[in-house]
Amino acid sequence: MMMMMDGVVFKIPSFKFLNPSPAASRSPAIIRCGLPRFSCSSIPALATTGREGDQALGSLSLGHITRPDFPILHQEINGSKLVYLDNAATSQKPISVLKALQNYYETYNSNVHRGIHYLSAKATDEYELARKKVAAFINASESREIVFTRNATEAINLVAYSWGLANLKSGDEVILTVAEHHSAIVPWQIVSQRTGAVLKFVTLNENEVPDIQKLKEIFSKKTKLVVVHHISNVLASFLPVEDIIQWAHVVGAKVLIDACQSVPHMVVDVQRLDTDFLVASSHKMCGPTGIGFLYGKSDLLSTMPPFLGGGEMISDVFLDHSTYADPPSRFEAGTPAIGEAIGLGAAIDYLSGIGMQKIHDYEIELANYLYESLCTVPNVHIYGPKPSETVHRAALCSFNVENIHPTDIATFLDQQHGVAIRSGHHCAQPLHRHLGVNASARASLYFYNTKEDVDAFIQALNDTISFFNSFK
């Protein structure tokens, strides 16, 4: 069948032509295609009935059980049921988190650490309780080892500007991998320009994972810091951070773990890892945006100078100098994100209610299903390791389809199928360059996703590929 739009002739393969959406009619290249879609309307709202009822839930997956807790998932986008697969960028928020935020603003909104009135005392208690929840969640030994920041990026900058500028000097070495997120690279470039410290990047091995053997070999007495991700936001690979931390400590180096893609998805125990620093962002773990945290060993934090000045980070202020509060206050200048911290605490309650091991086990199952399903699509290249009994992948796949730009794929999936994936460099340009591409498409899952979501994505992707190939 041939059709003409805006004077351009399209060859349409085998699509049923339905009502074009307003967005579709703006774009001559996008045509509304009718394919069978996953329906979640038959899924009962079980998650809010309590986890004790799990046995009664029979064969329902964690995704089916928890979906009802996330109102945003139950809507149509561009005329199709939303399939949200952009969780590595940000996660959705359960009702309990939305309620915690609303409750704070409706009933005890007030500034923390300053007022003696009831509302301020209550806000302070809840803010500090949130810090305790974060500490318990990652098994920090004390809550003063948790510094609230705006996000993980700010937490890394805090370490760079505070610890980095004070401790690194010309010729010192910082080890990273080419697979780091820009947020874990750029602050260290700035520090290295100011101090003369050298950044050493480990490349990938033949399995498309950072070459751990090479990493081990470049440790020396000059190594002062290692900055590595726990789970790659592009390759879906897990780094053996426990080993890396041990090797670093042998030469007296410190380690900063970028745990943005691990803390939301698995049990992370900072004491067992023995890491010096670790960062994560609330918005990737069912919490609000605008808050993240830095974990730092208390003896390290207490030696570090402030990052920003003003507000509650002081002990005494004179006209010519100031003395500083102990950590974590030393690093929390100005009014903090109070409601957001309380929302993060609610998110941790929610995740802990399910159980991080359960989330991880389910996501490994989803990860394998996603990988295997994507392998059935012709001309697709998936980046990162092949999963096996011993090699686990996180529940995300970055991929390219031969001769189709990832942004065209993401646009078509969104406009024609309501499937939300990401395209671009995912804040990992050096990694993409290393892989020989400018960009990739990425589908990333969380525990509220289901195998049906994956099926819907694969079906939509096949449709997308047929559409673009029909012009060749």
Ligand X SMILES: Cc1ncc(COP(=O)(O)O)c(C=O)c1O
Contact positions vs ligand X (CB under 6 A):
88-89, 151-153, 181, 183-184, 229, 233, 258, 260-261, 281, 292, 427
Q: What is the secondary structure of 343-374 as a DSSP string?
A: HHHHHHHHHHHH-HHHHHHHHHHHHHHHHHHH
Q: What backbone torsions phi and psi does residue 143 show, to the nearest 5 degrees? A: -70, -20
Nearer to ligand X, 278 or 456 (CB): 278
Distance CA 139, CA 7 (A): 63
Nearer to ligand X, 181 or 224 (CB): 181
The CB-of-154 to ligand X minimum distance in angstroms stands at 7
The residue assigned the tokens 């805090």 is: 158
Chain-centroid distance of CA 449 in Å reads 15
Nearer to ligand X, 292 or 339 (CB): 292
The CB-of-181 to ligand X minimum distance in angstroms stands at 3
Nearer to ligand X, 292 or 306 (CB): 292
Q: Is 375 a catalytic residue?
A: no
For 310, left (φ over 0), alpha (ψ -120 to 50), or beta?
left
The CB-of-98 to ligand X minimum distance in angstroms stands at 19
The CB-of-231 to ligand X minimum distance in angstroms stands at 7
Residue 86's alpha-carbon distances to 197, 200, 430, in angstroms, are 36, 31, 21
H or E stretch covering 76: strand 76-77
Catalytic residue, from 40, 286, 375, 427: name it.
Answer: 427
Nearer to ligand X, 229 or 393 (CB): 229
The CB-of-172 to ligand X minimum distance in angstroms stands at 23
User: Which 3-state string (H, E, C) describes 136-202?
Assistant: HHCCCCCHHHEEEECCHHHHHHHHHHHHHHHHCCCCCEEEEECCCCHHHHHHHHHHHHHHCCEEEEE
Nearer to ligand X, 441 or 460 (CB): 441
Taking CA 361 as the corner, what is the angle to CA 360 and CA 364, rounded to the nearest 5 degrees? 85
Q: What backbone torsions phi and psi does residue 233 show, to the nearest 5 degrees? A: -80, 0
Distance CA 301, CA 145 (A): 8
| DSSP state for residue 453 in the 8-state scheme | H
> Checking DSSP bridges between strand 76-77 and strand 80-81, what pairing results, if any?
antiparallel
Nearer to ligand X, 260 or 458 (CB): 260
- Tokens standing for 399? 């991929």
C-beta of residue 283 within 8 angstroms of C-beta of residue 289 = yes
Nearer to ligand X, 83 or 152 (CB): 152
Contacts of 463 (CB under 8 A, 6+ apart): 15, 33, 35, 416, 417
How many residues can be counted in the chain?
A: 472
| DSSP state for residue 78 in the 8-state scheme | T
List residues with catalytic annotation: 427
